[in-house]
Structure 1
Amino acid sequence: MRRSSKNLADKDITAALAGWNFEPGQVNVRIVRGKDGKPKIQLRLDLGLLQMEINGRPDGKRPHNNASELAHQLRRLEKHRKLFGEFSGFSLSASACAALRAESAMFYHRYLSLFVLEQFDAVIRDTQHSLDVLDLCHHFADEAHDRYIMEQYRPYILMMQGRSRACRAMKDGFTKTALAYLKATLRRVLELYPKPLGRRSYEAQVLMAMIRDLRHGIPMDPLTKLRRELRRAVTAEQYERAAHLRDELTALETLGAIGPAPSLPAAAPAAAQTGGGTAASVRRRCRPRRANHRAAKRETTEQKAVRPPEDPPAASNA
């Protein structure tokens, strides 16, 4: 280990931390301008900070002259396929899997920070990197331990990706698209757990809460509203009102709406409606509260502090 006392004062990060206190239980993130002129993400820790590149590998390195360790291993896999005509026979050593896990830990810290910063496209990108690492190790690792050690994080990564897709859609005003993303993600998460446990998992609880909030906040379209009122009228044997509602439905369907109106003789009772917040509460999940901190010198910062959307996995395995 080489030590040098020359210019050690220049390495002190006290100035960078001044006015930016660590807040336990919250994710404290900011964007600063690096000496190379590029923006950097900084994540506040109790004893300092993590600094990450916004694009490429978070630490800015290019392992084996590739964009990432994952890119290097995928390149090896493709060379194997071209040489042998199939993927069979390709394998990842224990050291290669360890390098992929270490890289995934970096990407975890970055996609969590990016979620706080509402950079949802970048979160989707980084969570996909983590999912690709899981898939690669699961299929090609030499050791069983390396094939399965990271699978415990798959539901969490899927949840973060699904939330980001939904939040991006909400940000663009596509509420129903956001709901579709959340439902699809919930199905994928539930498939990863034994049936009795799936809906009690943290990931499922977060997704179901967002779905409830979003459903409650979507305005009901006229056809759906009329059909629901018609069912209630039939159930209550209010046939004159039911006939009037059916005429309205027929008129709307004639104008191009699709789907037949329910018949008069019988109809199921209207489903009980449950509350669950509003679309605004979903937006609050996508737009964490901000905390203003004094900017350090030469910083162009957007600083935010939010309660973590989850308990982070261990850094070495994230």
Structure 2
Amino acid sequence: MQVRVELGILQMELSGRPDGGVSVFETRFGADLNPGVGGLDSELCRVLHREAALYAYRALVCSSLELHERVVADASRNLEVMDFMIAHANDASDRQAARALRVQSLVMRVRARASHALASQTPAIARSLVEDGIQEVQAALRLAGRSEEVESAAEIQLLRSLVEVLIPKLPASQRHEMELRLKAALEVENYELAAILTNELRQLF
């Protein structure tokens, strides 16, 4: 994959490490994710952070190209790296940096999953993914020491806006008609129909 940048063209691999090199995380720690004796020192954490930045940049480019599955894969990979550093980094500052980057990777993955669902003509699933993702990101914010921002953080506001931006709504007239039908169903105590209409409204708006 080639990307035009200010100083020329940047080439990235679509699989494996984006720059074509050998992945430090995957090759050094393997499937069992064993940090070895002594945990992760700050220099190794810096190496893992730099490597994660390569994957994050590729995910960003793939997002603009609507390669949603690739974005999900890279974001999930980076989340695994961040969790590994949170669990095994020796220095508290390295653990905190990993917690902060976890938030960014989660947001990227939620957006990609929702976009993929929307592209697959499943807006209700897209909405559910965003709503679940908001809870995930709020938990990550708390872990990162940002408990006071779980409602106001830019990341949360961005995800909430996805419900408006990514998921198309019915025309206002059609929504009004459904609301009138719901009201009529409740008035005649047709609770089965009311439940169906309520569920449809919840999924579509």
- State the TM-score bracket (shorter-chain normalisation): 0.7 to 0.9
CA distance in 2, matches of 1:144, 1:99: 17
Alignment-mate amino acid for residue 60 of structure 1 = G
Tell me whether 147-156 or 174-183 shows the greater mean CA deviation.
Answer: 147-156
Alignment-mate amino acid for residue 42 of structure 1 = V
For residues 83-134 of structure 1, what are the alpha-carbon distances to aligned partners after superposition, in whole Å with 9 as ceiling and x for unaligned?
Answer: xxxx895612333212211111111110000000000000000001111111
Partner of 1:60: 20
CA shift in 2, pair 1:230/1:128, >3 Å: same
Partner of 1:182: 130
Shift of 1:179: 0.2
Partner of 2:114: 166
Partner of 1:36: none
1:76-115 to structure 2, matched below 5 A, reads 78=32, 91-115=39-63
Aligned length: 193
1:1-318 to structure 2, matched below 5 A, reads 40-44=1-5, 46-62=6-22, 68-75=23-30, 78=32, 91-191=39-139, 192-193=141-142, 194-213=146-165, 217=169, 226-230=181-185, 242-243=187-188, 246=189, 249=190, 253=192, 259=195
The structure with the greater share of residues assigned to helix is 2
Shift of 1:190: 1.9
Alignment-mate amino acid for residue 66 of structure 2 = E
Shift of 1:214: 5.5
CA distance in 1, matches of 2:113, 2:196: 33
Output the aligned Cα RMSD.
Answer: 3.3
Shift of 1:79: 7.9
The runs of 5 or more residues in structure 1 that have no matched partner are: 1-39, 63-67, 81-86, 232-241, 263-272, 280-318
CA distance in 1, matches of 2:68, 2:134: 18
Which structure is richer in relative contact order (CA contacts within 8 A, separation 6 or more)?
A: 1
CA shift in 2, pair 1:154/1:260, >3 Å: closer
Tell me whether 105-114 or 190-199 shows the greater mean CA deviation.
Answer: 190-199
CA shift in 2, pair 1:50/1:213, >3 Å: closer
CA distance in 2, matches of 1:214, 1:59: 32
SS at match of 1:59: coil
CA distance in 2, matches of 1:96, 1:121: 29
Residues 118 and 166, structure 2, Cα contact 8 Å, conserved in 1: no
Q: TM-score, with normalisation over the residues of structure 1?
A: 0.53
Residues 12 and 58, structure 2, Cα contact 8 Å, conserved in 1: yes
The runs of 5 or more residues in structure 2 that have no matched partner are: none
Residues 52 and 60, structure 1, Cα contact 8 Å, conserved in 2: yes
SS at match of 1:157: helix
CA shift in 2, pair 1:124/1:227, >3 Å: same
CA distance in 1, matches of 2:147, 2:181: 36
In percent, how many aligned pairs have the same letter?
A: 23
CA shift in 2, pair 1:152/1:226, >3 Å: same
SS at match of 1:50: strand
CA distance in 2, matches of 1:199, 1:106: 30
